[in-house]
Chains A and B, each alone.
Chain A
Amino acid sequence: MALIEIKNVKKQYTSGDDVVEALRGVDISIEAGEFITIMGQSGSGKSTLLSVLGGMNHPTMGDVEMAGVKLYQLPGEKLADFRSQNLGFVFQSFNLISYLTASENVMLPLAIVKMSRPAKRSAARQALERVGLAGKLDRLPNQLSGGEQERVAIARAIVNNPQILLADEPTGNLDSKTSEEVMALFRELNGAGQTVVMVTHNPENSAYSNRTITLKDGMVI
């Protein structure tokens, strides 16, 4: 059984009298351990699809099943709990918390988890070591380069060992050399068994993935 099953997902946004169809019946199946890149032009529905996959955007129609759980049938805050336990997010602008150090940023997902303080520190240190930032635990985001901030964001996304890593244009704000390093890091993580779903508009990035899904006007082509 696929780790992620998206069946006939539609998403409409209403603005006054206008109805915008961001997703028009998307069907995708992703197996555990896959590295998927979702490509498409601006406005094709990539980010909407990622937010639906991330349990943050209720689809107008269709089902999203992840690890056997129908996401949008989860009651109340159970969806937040699901995100906390199963998903890791990497955002385009890194979105590190400016007043927290690198290790504190990485520990963020653990702030709501019952774990001892040393265990949390150890997990953060290991995650930062995996992304090659062992020596910069106490740096604030503004003391790190763009590439380093991206690495901290990746460390934050993997610190709680999620089943699925979702990344939205992770190299969008990086130079080509740093982009290559970051993509190599994603491939390394995938090599260790991590399922990765990445939205990107850069065709070079798709070379690092097992499979590329292309969206056009809200549909898979």
Chain B
Amino acid sequence: MKLHTISINNLKRRKAKMAFLTIGLMVGIATIVTLVTLTRSMSRDIESKMDEFGANILITPRSNGLSMNYGGIALGGVSFDQHEIREEDLAKIKTIENRKNISVVSPKVLGGAKINSRDVLLAGVNFESELKMKQWWKIFGNEPKSDHDILLGSDASKLLDLSPGDNLSIKGETFKVAGVLDQTGSQDDALVFASLAKAQKLLGKAGKISMAEVAALCSGCPIGDMVTQIAEKIPDAKVSAIQQVVEGRLKALDQFKRFSYAMAGVVVFIGSLIVFVTMMASVNERTTEIGVFRAIGFRKSHIMQIILLEAAIVSLLAGFLGYAAGMGGARLALPFMAESKNAQLVWDTTVAFGSIGLALTLGLLASLYPALHASKMDPTEALRAL
């Protein structure tokens, strides 16, 4: 017989009350787990989408010029004091505060070249990062593997009348068409893609790049902050954010997250209130019992131990059940909430331990006053109750 025997036996014998208490707290914890898991899973879903959407930060050379552009038709530019980006500067991007959120950096060098007596825009790219960023590209033929492999945009392929496996010559050097892109509806259709190093050499821009695209995983990393951080590292470049649509979605998700936390807060408050009221009622019901404990020599601390241990057991149980129910709820709700049909549920140990810890903390805090009240009961109350 120890103090915990009293707590455990009381809970065993008063199953209905214990169940009510557990359910009250469990609902609160389950709501939090569902909302947190849903927002995390939806964030992860959007993050993975951002990879598919491509770049969300663009790095171009800074110039003190005016872009002559009207309705999407480029009319040339009035530029002076044009700065250039050195390829080595790109390494600095990996040193920014939010570097962990950077998924892909894809540098490009652009310049005019002649193929089969026709003027084309040659784009030197790092094929590995370019293909990772532009996951929507569909290539007929093969992905370029060597420095002498070329990838043609669909329009460029038609204009030059070249197909996968054909050879072509640029500035006296022979290249092989490894593949042709399916129509993308973007500027990529008109481009001739070569490896970055080879294009730099052909265009006489060794070590320089014309622009770089950056894809960032941006849940919890404001694109604006990353733009500022990159601009600080590469002062000669103009860094701008694109993909406002995705940003908009993230903002909506952020609002949902805030709403979720507010709702979770309310539910937790109600759960705590249930624990408080039930424990208080339980203590008042047990006036005589507590008086007997005090009469036979239990200290105030012993009474508190009994009440708080009961609260701890119920809270832990509510934490476990709440986590399980919450994850179940999130699993059921995710297909209706996420944009992708195959959005994955995020299983996070922080949420698991957090929910159990939160249940325990709330249960104990809500039971603290009832426990104190019980410990301060006058033992003569037990005798008077006779």
In the complex, B6 has a CB within 8 A of chain A: yes
A111–B4 Cα distance when bound, in Å, is 9
- The digit string for A89-126, where 1 denotes a CB below 8 A from any CB of B, is 10111010111100010011111100001001000100
Tell whether, in the assembled complex, residue A80 and residue B13 are in contact, meaning their CB atoms are under 8 Å apart.
no
Tell whether, in the assembled complex, residue B383 and residue A47 are in contact, meaning their CB atoms are under 8 Å apart.
yes
In the complex, A130 has a CB within 8 A of chain B: no
Tell whether, in the assembled complex, residue B14 and residue A109 are in contact, meaning their CB atoms are under 8 Å apart.
no
Nearest CB in chain B: distance from A171 CB, A: 13
Task: Please give me the residue from chain A that is nearest to B384 by CB atom.
Answer: A47
A120–B10 Cα distance when bound, in Å, is 20
A54–B295 Cα distance when bound, in Å, is 8
Please classify how large the interface on chain B is, using the bins under 10, 10 to 19, 20 to 34, 35 or more: 20 to 34
Tell me the interface secondary structure of chain A in the complex.
Answer: helix
> Given that A80-B297, A80-B299 are contacting pairs, would A99 and B383 also be in contact in the complex, using a CB cutoff of 8 Å?
no
In the complex, A51 has a CB within 8 A of chain B: yes
A85 — which chain B residues lie within 8 A by C-beta? 297
The CB with the most chain A CB atoms within 10 A, among B3, B12, B302, is that of: B302
Tell whether, in the assembled complex, residue A112 and residue B297 are in contact, meaning their CB atoms are under 8 Å apart.
yes
B383 — which chain A residues lie within 8 A by C-beta? 47, 50-51, 56, 91, 168
Please classify how large the interface on chain A is, using the bins under 10, 10 to 19, 20 to 34, 35 or more: 35 or more
Tell whether, in the assembled complex, residue A95 and residue B292 are in contact, meaning their CB atoms are under 8 Å apart.
yes
In the complex, B86 has a CB within 8 A of chain A: no
> Given that A57-B380, A95-B386 are contacting pairs, would A109 and B296 also be in contact in the complex, using a CB cutoff of 8 Å?
yes
A97–B302 Cα distance when bound, in Å, is 16
Tell whether, in the assembled complex, residue B12 and residue A56 are in contact, meaning their CB atoms are under 8 Å apart.
no
Interface residues of B in 294-318 (CB under 8 A from A): 294-302
B64 — which chain A residues lie within 8 A by C-beta? none
A92 — which chain B residues lie within 8 A by C-beta? 386
Tell whether, in the assembled complex, residue B380 and residue A100 are in contact, meaning their CB atoms are under 8 Å apart.
no
A109 — which chain B residues lie within 8 A by C-beta? 296-297
In the complex, A77 has a CB within 8 A of chain B: yes
In the complex, B174 has a CB within 8 A of chain A: no
In the complex, A190 has a CB within 8 A of chain B: no
- The digit string for A49-85, where 1 denotes a CB below 8 A from any CB of B, is 0110010110000000000000000000100111111
Can you list 23 A-B contacts with CB-CB less than 8 angstroms, sorted by A residue number?
A: A47-B383, A77-B301, A80-B299, A81-B297, A87-B297, A89-B292, A89-B296, A91-B382, A92-B386, A95-B288, A95-B289, A95-B292, A97-B292, A100-B6, A100-B9, A108-B6, A110-B1, A112-B3, A112-B297, A112-B298, A156-B296, A168-B383, A168-B386
